[in-house]
Amino acid sequence: MQILSLLFFFIITSVNPYELTIVAKVNNEIITNIDLENRLKMALDLSKLPDEKEIKERLKPRVLDGLINEILKIQEANRLGIFVSNKEVTSQINRLETRLRIKKNSLLENYTKKGIPEITILNQIRSQLLWEKLIYNIIIKNISISDKQITETFDLLIKKSGEIEYNLSEIFISLDNIEAEQRINSIYSKINSKNFLLLAEQFSDSVISNRNTVNNWTRESLLNAEVKNSVSKLGIGQISAPVKTSSGYYIILLNDKRKTKKIEKNQTIYNLSQILFKLDNPNNTKQEKYYKEFLSSLKNTIKGCDDLDKLIDEIPEGYGGNLGEVDSKNIEKKFINVLIGLPIGQLSEAVTTDDGVHALMLCSPVANNTYEQLKKSVENNLRKNKIDSAAQSLLNRIRRKALIEISVL
């Protein structure tokens, strides 16, 4: 009997550190301390933050709020009959594995080894996918931007063409959230350029993804005044301090910036790279022939502007590199002739000038009728802002209708 008592005492004392408690109730579902601890572990791992008590205590309210939102999103999607398939979840996992640069189909196993159950990441992925579908069905399909709004914004861009354009990633915390200032400061205290996108995915209220930085270009005239003022002081790769606006707080990462060209109607813009071999003298036909044959041999091995830039660095006599976006009016006719019908990423026929032997490469599709392209860009940017605002409003309405009880953390 005494042995059993001692055994019972041992079991109790062993289990107590992991005692299961309820930290929140969301309608008819509960969130336990174990759920919260697992999600904290995952957030720290994805964000490359150290597993330290101080950091965890700072992140707990935000992570718990994220868990509550996650459950509400799943509940609302289920109520509306919106579901995701296992195939969709697997595809999302594979995309995450690619971003994290780990072996395909190894993510869940890796998390299990770190003491994070599969269900923790599966629930987050399902929630994200369900919310995207819900947003599409309720908001995106029905959202519209008036021609007047597009025209007014477009006219402003034309007037201000030649201005700076920024490539940005953002973390946004809505003022609708409780303790928004505390949350943004907590994120900012641990952020850097390496974990920025992962933190944005974990904690940002923005609906639009930060992942595709290739197309994240925004004109300065389209930026909020407070954001523009902060971004204008950043160097490439730098992160802004939290910026307060009428809708919430932003932390901005400046990926790149460039000066735009003056916009004229019906321009044709080429995004070019070139390689150039200089001749000892313009009449050196033997040397000219050699370089032309060499450039011809490169057509099957060099694919894409990045490969061309690397080649130029490796060949001592090669010059050139990226020329950026060039108006057709500023390109000699002999170069235009070899660019016509040239596939993107393929080296052109060689062209001889007084400077030497050239070959060109298109780095992106030729931009014709830039007015129409710019109008489309304006519309997309206006849609993004409208979608973000509508999505946050929808989540707020769902939260107001829900029965949420939170225990003291």
| CATH number of the domain enclosing 358 | 3.10.50.40
Q: Is residue 352 part of a domain?
A: yes
Q: Helix, strand, or coil here: 347? A: strand
Q: For residues 183 and 104, state if they share a domain.
A: no
Q: Residue 88's pLDDT is what?
A: 94
> φ and ψ at 219, to 5 degrees?
-70, 145
Tell whether 157 is covered by a domain: no
- Statement to judge: residues 246 and 344 lie in one domain: no
Per the structure block, which two tokens stand in for 293?
A: 């044959």
- 276 and 349: one domain? yes
Do 128 and 31 share a domain, yes or no? Answer: yes
Question: Nearest to residue 126, comparing CAs of 162, 64, 75, 62?
Answer: 75
* φ and ψ at residue 82, rounded to 5 degrees: -100, 130
Whether residue 241 is found in the same domain as residue 297: no
Q: Is the dihedral of CA 388, 394, 398, 400 positive or negative?
A: positive
Rounded to 5 degrees, φ, ψ at 362 are: -85, 125
φ/ψ of 255, rounded to 5, equals: -75, -35
Handedness of CA 256, 257, 262, 263 (dihedral sign): positive
Residue that finishes a domain, picked among 260, 276, 302: 260
Closest among 214, 215, 256, 213 to 234, alpha carbons compared: 256
The number of distinct structural domains making up the chain is: 3
**31 and 120: one domain?**
yes
Helix (H) or strand (E) holding 325: strand 318-327
Those residues of the chain that have pLDDT short of 50 are: 1-16, 212
Q: What is the CATH number of the domain that holds 28?
A: 1.10.4030.10
Q: Is residue 65 part of a domain?
A: yes
Concatenating the DSSP letter of every residue in 87-102 gives HHHHHHHHHHHHHHT-
Neighbour count for residue 104 (Cβ, 10 Å):
9
Indicate the pairing of strand 268-277 with strand 404-406: unpaired
Tell me if 33 is assigned to some domain: yes
Can you give the pLDDT at residue 265?
A: 64
Q: Would you state the pLDDT for residue 5?
A: 41
> Is 232 found in the same domain as 197?
yes
Say if 7 falls within a structural domain. no
pLDDT for 1: 44
283 with 235, same domain?
no
Domain end (from 230, 260, 290): 260
Report yes or no on 373 lying in a domain: no
Q: Are 249 and 193 in a shared domain?
A: yes
Q: Give the structural domain span for 200.
A: 163-260
- How many CB atoms lie under 10 A from the CB of residue 106? 13
- Among residues 234, 260, 286, which one ends one of the domains? 260
Considering the domain boundaries, does residue 386 fall inside one? no
Instruction: Judge if 26 and 45 occupy the same domain.
Output: yes
Separation between Cα atoms, residue 314 and residue 320, nearest integer Å = 12
